[in-house]
Amino acid sequence: MEPSDNQIEILLAEDDPGDIKLLQECLDDVKFPYHLSIASDGEAALAFLARQAPYTEAPTPGLILLDIYLPQKGVSALFLQIHTVTKKATEGGILTMRFHESFIQAFRVP
């Protein structure tokens, strides 16, 4: 199931209910139509993107938000697998809810 033509699908990979609530409150103020899907860990996020059970009808996200401290699969491993799983470059952006210096350095362009 894809979002409607004028709606952006947002995938949030986050395990902290407080952070989920914070993002939902921030999205209350946006002026564009969206649908928010939530994956509670890295494995669930990959399953969502690959449309594996229980996400066989998952829409393709236009924006992916990743918590840097995801359980079961770290964000750096997940970040590197997203292109493989989706088999194309992500059209949206990939953001983290929290930044960590080692993560920033790992992806720093010289």
Helix (H, G, I), strand (E, B) or coil at 63: strand
CATH of region 8-106: 3.40.50.2300
pTM above threshold 0.95: no
Contact 39, 48 (CB under 8 A): yes
User: How many C-beta atoms lie closer than 10 Å to residue 71's C-beta?
Assistant: 12
Joined tokens for residue 31: 């002026």
* Residue 97 pLDDT greater than 90, yes or no: no
Domain boundaries of the chain, sorted by first residue: 8-106
Q: Work out the mean pLDDT of the chain and round it to a whole number.
A: 76
pLDDT in tens, 60-82: 888 888 887 777 776 667 777 77
| Mean pLDDT along residues 32-47 | 91
